[in-house]
Amino acid sequence: MKVVQRMAHNDKVNSVAWHPDQSKVLISVGDDKRALLWDTVSGTEESECSQSSGGRRDPTSQYEAPEAICNLAWSREKSSWAAISFNDSIQAVKV
């Protein structure tokens, strides 16, 4: 079994979702107020990650919200958009 590990959040990860049209792309959101977009093709298998890197990889893009992001959902109609929620607010983010 192959495992690709991503470690770029600075706090708890609250939600992860695969892109609806691009099967190798996912987004993660967390308490560090960030939404991170990942390309899983360029990943390294966990067994090949060096001790020095600790599995850290750069996301392909990121967005920072005003508060910790609790949840996310991709748009099914317009797959370049995702919705995020935090505190008492929601935002639509074009990725």
Interatomic CA distance for residues 70 and 88, integer angstroms: 10
Taking residues 54-83, report their average pLDDT. 88
1-50, pLDDT tens digit by residue?
A: 777 777 789 999 999 999 999 999 999 999 999 999 999 886 444 434 33
* Per-residue pLDDT, 1: 77
**Among 73, 48, 44, which residue's Cα sits nearest to residue 58?**
44
pLDDT band at residue 72 using 50, 70 and 90 as cut-offs = very high
Q: What is the mean pLDDT of residues 54-64?
A: 79
Tell me how many degrees the CA angle 76-87-57 measures, rounded to the nearest 5. 65
**pTM for this structure?**
0.79
